[in-house]
Structure 1
Amino acid sequence: MNSTTAMDLSNILSLDWKGKYFYVDLFPLMGSPYPMLLIFISYLIFVLFIGPMWMKNRPPYNLLEVLRLYNAFQVCACTFIVVRAHLVHHYSFFTFSKCVLSPKPVGPNDVLSVTQIAFHIDTYLFMHLRLLELIETIFFVLRKKFNQVSALHMYHHISTITLCWIFLKYRGGRMEIFIAVLNSYVHIIMYAYYFVSSFKRYRIITDKIKPFITIMQIVQLNFILVQCVAILLCEESFINYILVGNFVINIVLFTHFFVKAYMCKRKIRVPVDSNGNIEGFKKNAILNVHGIKSEC
């Protein structure tokens, strides 16, 4: 374990929770992990226990207009992040061959860089935008869409917010903003899709597009993983190992979801002969969209 890795681990496990930048520690929710931890615990208790119990004998809420407003807001907010990245950061963080290392810690007596402060503000806004996404799970519960409250859904949201918090407090490197910008591009398309699909007259189109939204997310995660590996090669640290591992887990979970959701179909009954077979398929075989036997 090198000195950078040991220092990162020491900072995370330290109980004084002093971050790398004194002014970031003054931001709401950034002084210590306890407020964020309380949010996560409250979130999980509601979506897994209190919410389902509350909705057990109640009809699902009609949140159509609320969801449309929410999706429109997310499109606008993500667009703001992307445009701001163009204007302020000039995409100097899109690099895989040249290392842009994390800056040194900044104390109260140090000269502050306007660009670095802008980076922290943008990362902080991005973190809160991802934090707002927790409300999506609450919408699922209130609409009694309990099948959508999956381990993938909850892990993805909580891990993304957690990594934003850790990087904002302990790292602050410019290479990491690539992740936020690429993620915002994908979310612009994703939430625009959700907005359009809320209108029934467009369902025939959006239903065909739906699998490609997940494919886009998986491709995005692979691009981010490459950037994370580049960051790790530039600067080996405990936090960067966590970053790489997290996106590997996300890729596995999203790929597993895609296979189950779009490559495997429901069991269907097929005509059988006296031996219980038809053209090599067993009775009640599972067929995918191409008519090929699937073991999903």
Structure 2
Amino acid sequence: MATKPQPGTVWFVGAGPGDPDLITVKGRKLLEQAGAVLFAGSLVDQAATLYAPAGCEIRDSKDMTLEEMTDWLIAAANRHETVIRLQTGDPGLYGALIEMTRPLTAAGIAWAVVPGVSSAMASMAAAGETLTLPEVTQTVILTRVAGRTPMPPGEELEALAAHKTTLCVYLSITLLHKVQEALLAAGWDEDAPILVVQKASWPGEEKIVRGTIKDIKRKCQDEKIASQAMIVASPTLGAADWPDLIRSKLYDPTFGHRFRKASPQENAA
């Protein structure tokens, strides 16, 4: 009697923010050997699926329910050694990762995750900005505004904004007025800089809008930005044009560490 073959592995691969070149090398290698790919067509640039080999089963998930997606992945894993769920950004951030992996585990299907570049990092890169600066802020908060999905108690944007650190606000461009209200209520100045990047890294589609808490909504309306945009509020914005910066200790000649001795000035002090 023939032994039933073991099912394949489902890989949850972060496709990155949009540019197909920003997928990881590991993610691309897995795509190149995939027997089946389920990709988020409403969010992931379809060009990423071009790495899949000829004959690969490719399915767009934008019209599927969670149950339909997991059923498809389980069925595909029973036919192929390598199955890919290709997701925007990183699979573990604002994705249904655990909701999908639980049915796979229950069905005896092995799965693993390949991380991806998030739109927060891609947005700051596109704008030439930094998330952190010495003695300005060393903390980054990734969050969203409550919409149809409520926020857990204590995670309201006003409470998070009170820390006056870098805020990367996902999935909230249609609620930009709420972001403005929360920042002002938390004590931010209405002239504090705000950055909005739509479709960060998408070839030919990226838009970068700079403004203040006071005028950012109008500027986004002028650019017709109403979806797929990252909102960043940070005390680091615009630092490239500041007259003075506090120097990073890591590269300061007067700061010694195990790879480099401090300059005589520090030793003399």
Give the TM-score normalised by the residue count of structure 1. 0.21
Question: Which structure features the higher share of strand residues?
Answer: 2
Compare relative contact order (CA 8 Å, sep 6+) and give the higher one, 1 or 2. 1
Question: Which structure features the higher share of helix residues?
Answer: 1
Give the TM-score normalised by the residue count of structure 2. 0.23
